[in-house]
A = this chain, B = another copy of it.
Amino acid sequence: MLIVQKFGGSSVADVGRIRNVAGIIAESYLLGNETVVVLSAQGDTTDELLEKAAEINPAPSKRELDMLLATGEQQSIALMAMCLEGMGLPVVSLTGWQVGVRTDANYGTARIRRVDTERLRRELDKKRIVLVAGFQGVNKFDDYTTLGRGGSDTTAVALAAALHADRCQIFTDVEGVYTADPRKVPGARKLEEITYDEMLELASMGAQVLMNRSVQLAKRYGVELEVLSSLVRAPGTKVKEVTKNMEEMKVTGIAKDDKVARLTAVGVPDRPGSAFKVLNAVSRAGINVDMIIQADTTASTNDMSFTVAEADADAAYKALTDRQAAIGFDHVTVDKSIAKVSVVGAGMMSSVGIASLVFEALNDEHINIQMINSSEVKISCVIDAASADRAVAAIHRKFFET
């Protein structure tokens, strides 16, 4: 089998962890698998490099930042190679350009255009373990680029797709994907399997196991992912197109996202196009709007509320107030003390009663629902942030613990 394994920064943070990961890699190789391993920078290396940069220039160019950051993963692969060499195993480490990870020129958030597999295949044919620096590539100018948040996951999925790997294992510090955050909900259960779409909804809802981008890539190329722990030897969660339990299991998981904010434009004129103008002002500032609600307040005006990522709240506020006179609303309010709780499941919409169970759970706990949104695979409710953990636990009990 050809297996791509990916280990994050905390999995290689120190010598002890590097040795632990080397053991996992060695096991895969010694079982006869062609083994390609993608590594992130050690522990806090990336943050330390960013601090160093900020000390010299608070606003460096992204090109030079990528030049700096790319060294973190390069150090990881060299150190891991040395560890595997010490175990007597044949190994070679390769940076993004050596592997042929070709990206566009968007420094800091580059997208992979192509992976040349020639060097990879050559090294695998020599029966070597191949260690690859994640998170990085080179653009058409032969300049270093980095892939942004979750970039190493993306590298792993892209390599798995290019090599037609049999498996792509994403090792993390959790044992898999759970029905809810196991640190908060004691009854949370590890899922054996989950579909790409469910995973995408859970990821975007704040379950920080896999970044959306790598799941999307895996879905597009049909790469079967497995999320598992680098510390506990146990089967993880498989992420794939169709899961065997799809018919029985209507709800897959409950997720919470408290990094959201709600903005309300108060007194928007009740004229065609007003709502568009409000949302357009925000979109043009490059900010994604998530949930939207509009309420009639007087005969001639409406209040219009929408949610954005908390980090974008101030920029959205500015974008709106800049256009206040042109659009003609009264004022804008911002509420950062909210959270979005979501119930995710591929078979959800074909089934009745899911929404009412959610509402019942929240009602039992006297939690007020401020906004509601639903798609084919999820129902999301915006509630007071202080009630969020209680809400997740209550919903989880309704679906999984009765």
> Which positions in A face B, CB cutoff 8 Å?
15, 18-19, 49, 52-53, 55-57, 59-61, 63-65, 67-68, 70-71, 74-75, 77-79, 81-83, 85-86, 92-93, 95, 97-98, 119, 142-144
Contact = CB atoms under 8 A, between A and B. Distances in A.
B98 A79 contact: no
Contacts of A60: 81-82, 85-86
Nearest to A75: B71
Given A93-B64, A93-B67, A57 B74 contact: no
A70 B49 CA distance: 16
A67 B52 contact: no
Q: Which 6 A-B pairs rank lowest in CB-CB distance, beginning with the nearest? A: A68-B78, A71-B71, A60-B82, A57-B86, A57-B82, A67-B78
A287 B306 CA distance: 77
A61 B75 contact: no
Given A52-B79, A53-B78, 19 more contacts: A19-B56, A52-B75, A53-B79, A53-B82, A57-B83, A60-B82, A61-B81, A61-B82, A61-B85, A64-B82, A64-B93, A65-B82, A67-B78, A67-B93, A67-B95, A68-B74, A70-B74, A95-B144, A119-B142
A82 B98 contact: no
Contacts of A55: 15
B75 A74 contact: no
Contacts of A49: 75
